[in-house]
Amino acid sequence: MNKYQYDAFGNTVEAVEKVHNRFRYAGEQYDQVTGQYYLRARFYNPVVGRFTQEDTYRGDGLNLYAYVSNNPVNYIDPSGYCAAKSNLFERGYNPKPGERSMTKAQWKEQYRKQRLEKPKAFGKYSTAIDDKVTVIEKQSLPEWMKPTFTDSEYRTVVTNEDIILYRVYGGKAKDTGAFVTTAPAGNRIQAKIDSALLPEWGGSKEFEAKILVPKGTVLNIGKIAPQTIKSTGTVLKGGDDQILLPQNWPKDWIIGSRSVPSA
């Protein structure tokens, strides 16, 4: 039995191979000599996360070598020409050009599973947006990221409606960071504790962004895991909802900001 693990861009983290297999990351053909993937129209180099030939279509962005708009968690590129959503359930009945839609049977089965799971509470991993999202196939997050969720437990969801989320920022922490939560901060001290924001990360928690996440967005959600301040051994308990936004989400999702009270 062969076993492979990759990072988001397709670099091999672990490979156990008992039978030779030339199809690897995202089911694409791997060239062991060059370390690149053949995507039919072009070759893709996972080390740099770029194609080695430029895109022949110049109307899809300024970077003609970019792979899936630098978002390999949510997209694949089976043709070498354009990105396609990696999750069938997210594509639904109306996929973009080059994408394969869900069959009616697949959609019904996913919907049936969701209906069965919906009444079940997620226990201590429940969030305030559980009734506004649909659970879909779980995405594989980087190993370093999983422990930021309580017990490394998270689920991948797609939003059924527009959702308001919040992010404290300031200092080294930018307003467009990856992690947000479902409720506004009471004050900086409480945000530090409930969101387990370590001082060594350099965030000042001075400000809070209000973010409108549109319907149809794929998120990874759970609860914030505790963190320990290395210099003092103090444990920040966490426990707030933790929402991981898509990579490179657009700044125009931010619809407001405010100063967070110091105490």
Closest CA to 73 of 65, 88, 85: 85
User: What mean pLDDT do residues 124-147 have?
Assistant: 92
3-state secondary structure of 80: coil
Q: What is the largest CA-CA distance in the chain?
A: 61
Structure-model confidence comparison of residues 46 and 72, the more confident one: 46
Torsion of the alpha carbons at 90, 92, 97 and 100, rounded to the nearest 10: 90
Place of tokens 């922490």: 173
Could you write out the DSSP letters of every residue in 190-212?
HHHHHTT--GGG-EEEEEEEEEE
What pLDDT is stored for residue 190 in this prediction? 84
Q: Which two tokens stand for residue 103?
A: 């069959």
Q: Are 243 and 165 in contact (CB under 8 A)?
A: yes
What pLDDT is stored for residue 119 in this prediction? 42
- The model scores a pTM over 0.75: no
3-state secondary structure of 49: coil
